[in-house]
A and B are shown apart, each in its own frame.
Chain A
């Protein structure tokens, strides 16, 4: 878990922050840490870890506290989306993300990533009159992030049969 934390931050700030696809589209794959965090763990600790994660990325990218704010929110509202996308399985508190079916995982990923990006870009641009720009950046970056996150989870999933 600690290794994943460090590796995701390093990969994010050293590689994915510099992709700048079409000029401004960057994927933010570090939130995989929050998305894939074990479900039945201490929630307060989880919120705090999410803050730490966002804070580290902020320090590296000189962005104030936008990643931290988005991550904390994401960690706090995650249970709602777990329930929404996985339904029954979540009630037993025993989700293994590698064992869920693809469609519900896609919904879960998309919802969280979209919310994270929206909060982040709103805080970055910090100007309600540029809502179109916020939504545009949110949409394009989200698509990029969702694709990469799905690919990464598929590549790194442990096959247990």
Chain B
């Protein structure tokens, strides 16, 4: 017994080192699995408030670009509204309960954005208080940004599409061939669309949008254009290099999308017990 105590005392630095190193490895491995990075994320009180202060200063520097983006979005929406055929039965809702019943949008400011690591996250200034929940989608007017992964009272962290763990259902805009959008860590401007069937008529310049299969994003949210493509080693699917519409390195304001029918769809897809 005496010897054990002596051993511990003599090697206490080494033991503390082993313990802490093991702990950090545990955190690292946990952060590699989806929905398990509960302990360490920047959506907590302390980091959130510090980023809030920093953002209070920093957001003034790209006001011009943010204004341009808003103006561009307004122009697009206006052109939709004014070119819409003025059949009021289509755009007014007699039953107000049905209005706004599929997707709900909330605005949020980005407090922290990263794009140089292999696992990138954003922190936004809306949280549980604003009824933001895990698995809501995050988009801008130009394209998709990511998926909510953790929430606290006032802040949420967003799993960016520039993350090796991100996997988003996407498709060609002109046909319904679906694939998964992943990221190979090489550039913040490009993401990769994998598992597109070799029968799909892929051409350079084609638009890629989100598919209707996920309950997170609405169908048809813009992602990017085909920059190059090659057939897989197996020979039965394409890997497409997608140039993103969004400049992921400069994101100021985002929309959080809630699919109000997600629970219903999920309960349908769940295998029956009997």
Binding site for B on A (CB under 8 A): 10, 13-14, 17-18, 20, 23-26, 43-44, 47-48, 51, 54-55, 58-66, 68-69, 72-73, 75-76, 123-126, 133
Contact = CB atoms under 8 A, between A and B. Distances in A.
Contacts of B185: 125, 133
Interface string B23-64: 111111111100001001110101100110010000000000
Contact of B119 (A14, A25, A63): A63
Contacts of B188: 23
Given A48-B20, A68-B23, A62 B114 contact: yes
Interface of B: 12-14, 16-17, 20-21, 23-32, 37, 40-42, 44, 46-47, 50-51, 54, 112, 114-121, 123, 157, 185, 187-188, 249
Contact of A24 (B27, B112, B116): B116
Contacts of B12: 44
Nearest to B32: A126
Contacts, number: 109
B31 A61 contact: no
Contacts of B37: 62, 64
10 contacts: A20-B115, A23-B188, A26-B116, A43-B13, A44-B16, A62-B31, A62-B42, A68-B20, A68-B23, A68-B24
A48 B40 contact: no
A158 to B, nearest CB: 29
A59 B20 CA distance: 16
Contacts of B54: 14
A58 B28 CA distance: 10
B1 to A, nearest CB: 22
Nearest to A76: B17
Contacts of A55: 24, 40
B20 A64 contact: no
Contact of A20 (B29, B30, B116, B187): B116
A64 B32 contact: yes
Given A58-B40, A62-B119, A44 B27 contact: no
Nearest to B120: A62
Q: Counting chain A CB atoms within 10 Å of each CB, which of B41, B51, B187 scores highest? A: B41
A63 B16 contact: no
B124 to A, nearest CB: 13
A59 B41 contact: yes
Given A23-B188, A26-B116, A48 B16 contact: yes
B187 A23 contact: yes
B42 A59 contact: yes
A68 B27 contact: yes
A138 to B, nearest CB: 14
The 4 closest A-B pairs by CB, nearest first: A64-B31, A65-B27, A65-B24, A68-B24
Given A44-B16, A76-B17, A61 B28 contact: no
A44 B13 contact: yes
Contacts of A61: 42, 114, 117
Given A47-B16, A72-B20, A65 B117 contact: no
Contacts of B116: 20, 23-26
Q: Counting chain B CB atoms within 10 Å of each CB, which of A18, A20, A58, A64 scores highest? A: A64
A44 B45 CA distance: 29
Nearest to B163: A62
Nearest to A125: B118
A10 B31 CA distance: 23
A142 to B, nearest CB: 15
Given A51-B20, A73-B21, A124 B119 contact: yes
A123 B40 contact: no
B89 to A, nearest CB: 48
